[in-house]
């Protein structure tokens, strides 16, 4: 029977990783994969995590099962960082651990569907897995334009989507450091989005995968907190895989804001049932390490320092790119106003291909670049190559 299966297109980014690995040009540049890199091109384990892991090794006395909700110490310790000091929303907000932010998005969509959501409004472009998850769960995706050609967010489009969304619909938004564009809503735009949600029947689903990589932990949570303060219900998918550098350890959480604290046990019982059928329980190690960091003020301070260094480096790269002004037909100035790992360059597929074959520069076919792949040793070469293929 299995020979009835149709071949599926390989994940384009994973294919790019293979091509990059097989390229023996010494000055090759990888702007494809979505991981942070230092000036030396490394993706190191955070020092705070290394220390937490050493402690775990010493102190962990059992690996017996937890439950579908995972490590609640981790889930609760993250809350003040994500939602602010008074973020418990009068007991209306509760979470559970998930396998990465991907698991959290998946669970959010599946739970929304169980609650009757048949259609999810989503800005385009978005993280490609959003559409794949919606399709796989069996919920319709409705796209609105995320960005304007000048590199700003299309606030009118999202406001219209929220205002016009009916009952049985949800709107999925990136909390910060939008993937793939780096284009976030301004605080004023978030104020309007929160107001629109307050008057809308739509369920907000907020995806926060890069908190702290844009302007700071509190700054990057502005929109999330503003929306939560305005609405009765919401689902929040959170990833620690970037801001704690945990990628392969799959550290995430799904939080739910209920209209009343008394509703939470029923919602939670549905989330547990869905998680149980999908992965039973999340992997423990990464969440436990993050818990150790967040429960120790010294390790928390060290983690925040490391996060500051990451953010400052990405800002520097963005400033340098923007400082170059024009590269061929491409205006790099907007990149300084964008946030996080990614920005999208208006290049054609053909130009992406020439950058790879003629200049050993690897980026997604969409024109998305990971700015953390650039550093003072390769940034000028990148700008020159971009000028050469687009000029």
Q: Which residue ranges make up the site for ligand PMP (CB under 6 A)?
A: 34, 100-102, 105, 127, 174, 179, 207, 209, 239, 241, 252
The contacts of residue 361 (CB under 8 Å, 6+ apart) are 28, 29, 31, 355, 382, 385
Residue 127 appears among annotated catalytic residues = yes
Nearest distance from C-beta of residue 179 to ligand PMP, angstroms: 4
Q: Which residues contact 162 (CB under 8 A, 6 or more apart)?
A: 121, 171, 193, 196, 197, 200, 202
Length of the chain in residues, anyone?
A: 391
| Nearest Cα residue to 175 out of 81, 76, 50 | 81
Catalytic residue among 108, 170, 202, 209: 209
Distance CA 388, CA 336 (A): 22
Q: Which is nearer to ligand PMP, 345 or 385 (CB)?
A: 345
Judge whether 209 counts as a catalytic residue: yes
Nearer to ligand PMP, 175 or 385 (CB): 175
Q: Which is nearer to ligand PMP, 29 or 172 (CB)?
A: 172
Helices (H), the chain: 12-21, 47-59, 72-83, 100-114, 128-137, 155-164, 187-198, 217-220, 222-230, 264-278, 285-295, 297-323, 349-359, 379-390
Taking the least distance from each CB to ligand PMP, the nearer of 84 and 125 is 125
* CA nearest to 93, candidates 288, 291, 235: 235
Please give the residue whose beta carbon sits closest to ligand PMP in the complex: 100
Smallest distance from ligand PMP to CB 163, Å? 24
Quickly count: other Cβ atoms within 10 Å of residue 126's Cβ.
20
* Of 92 and 99, CB closest to ligand PMP: 99
Nearest to 207 by CA among 374, 363, 340, 345: 340
C-beta of residue 358 within 8 angstroms of C-beta of residue 14? no
- Name the residue among 367, 371, 313, 385 with its Cα closest to residue 341: 371
349 catalytic residue (yes or no)? no
Residue 22 sits at the vertex; the CA angle it makes with 21 and 27, to the nearest 5 degrees, is: 70
Contact between 134 and 140 under an 8 Å Cβ cutoff? The reply is yes
The catalytically annotated residue of 30, 71, 184, 207 is 207
Cα–Cα dist 270/198, whole Å: 25
- Catalytic choice (184, 221, 242, 303): 242
Catalytic residue among 82, 104, 111, 127: 127
Give the residue with the Cβ less far from ligand PMP, 356 or 368.
Answer: 368
Least gap, CB of 239 to ligand PMP (angstroms): 3
Reply yes or no on whether 24 is catalytic. Answer: no
Helices 187-198, 222-230: axis angle to 10 degrees equals 20
Count of beta carbons in the 10 Å neighbourhood of residue 235: 26
The helix/strand count (H/E) of the chain reads as 14, 13
To ligand PMP, the closest distance from the beta carbon of 102 in angstroms equals: 3
Q: How far is the CB of 143 from ligand PMP (least distance, A)?
A: 15
Nearer to ligand PMP, 110 or 383 (CB): 110
Taking the complex as a whole, the smallest distance from the CB of residue 190 to ligand PMP amounts, in Å, to 17
C-beta of 364 vs 386, nearer to ligand PMP: 364
Minimum distance of ligand PMP from residue 120's CB (angstroms): 14
Rounded to a whole number of angstroms, the minimum distance from the CB of residue 25 to ligand PMP is: 27
Q: For residues 220 and 206, is the Cβ–Cβ distance under 8 A?
A: no
The set of catalytic residues is 127, 207, 209, 242
């Amino acid at each position: 029977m299995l020979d009835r299966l149709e071949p599926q297109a390989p994940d384009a980014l994973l294919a790019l990783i293979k091509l990059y690995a097989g390229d023996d040009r010494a000055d090759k540049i990888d702007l494809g994969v979505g991981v942070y890199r230092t000036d030396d091109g490394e993706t190191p384990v955070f020092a705070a995590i290394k220390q937490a892991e050493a402690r775990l090794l010493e102190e962990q006395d059992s690996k017996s099962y937890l439950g579908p909700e995972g490590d609640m110490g981790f889930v609760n310790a993250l809350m003040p960082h994500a939602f602010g000091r008074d973020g418990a929303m009068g007991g209306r907000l509760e979470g559970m651990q998930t396998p990465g932010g991907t698991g959290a998005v998946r669970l959010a969509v599946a739970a929304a569907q169980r609650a009757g959501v048949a259609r999810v409004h989503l800005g385009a472009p978005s993280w490609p897995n959003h559409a794949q998850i919606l399709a796989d769960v069996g919920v319709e995706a409705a796209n609105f334009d995320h960005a304007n050609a000048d590199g700003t967010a299309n606030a009118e489009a999202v406001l219209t989507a929220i205002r016009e969304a009916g009952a049985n619909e949800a709107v999925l938004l990136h909390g910060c450091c939008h993937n793939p564009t780096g284009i976030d809503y301004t605080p004023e735009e978030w104020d309007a989005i929160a107001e629109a949600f307050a008057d809308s029947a739509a369920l907000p689903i907020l995806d926060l995968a890069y908190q702290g990589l844009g302007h700071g932990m509190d700054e990057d949570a502005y929109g999330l907190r503003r929306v939560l303060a305005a609405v009765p219900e919401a689902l929040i998918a959170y990833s620690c895989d970037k801001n704690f550098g945990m990628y392969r350890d799959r550290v995430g959480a799904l939080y739910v804001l209920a209209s009343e604290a008394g509703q939470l046990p029923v919602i939670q019982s549905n989330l547990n049932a869905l998680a149980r059928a999908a992965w039973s329980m999340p992997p423990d190690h990464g969440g436990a390490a993050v818990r150790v960091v967040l429960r120790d003020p010294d390790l928390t301070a060290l983690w925040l320092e490391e996060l500051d260094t990451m953010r400052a480096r990405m800002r520097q790269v963005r400033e340098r790119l923007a400082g170059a002004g024009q590269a061929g037909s491409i205006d790099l100035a907007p990149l300084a106003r964008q946030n996080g790992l990614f920005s999208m360059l208006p290049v054609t597929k053909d130009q992406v291909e020439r950058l790879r074959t003629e200049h050993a520069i690897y980026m997604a076919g969409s024109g998305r670049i990971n700015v953390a792949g650039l550093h003072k040793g390769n940034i000028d070469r990148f700008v020159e190559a971009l000028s050469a293929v687009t000029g």
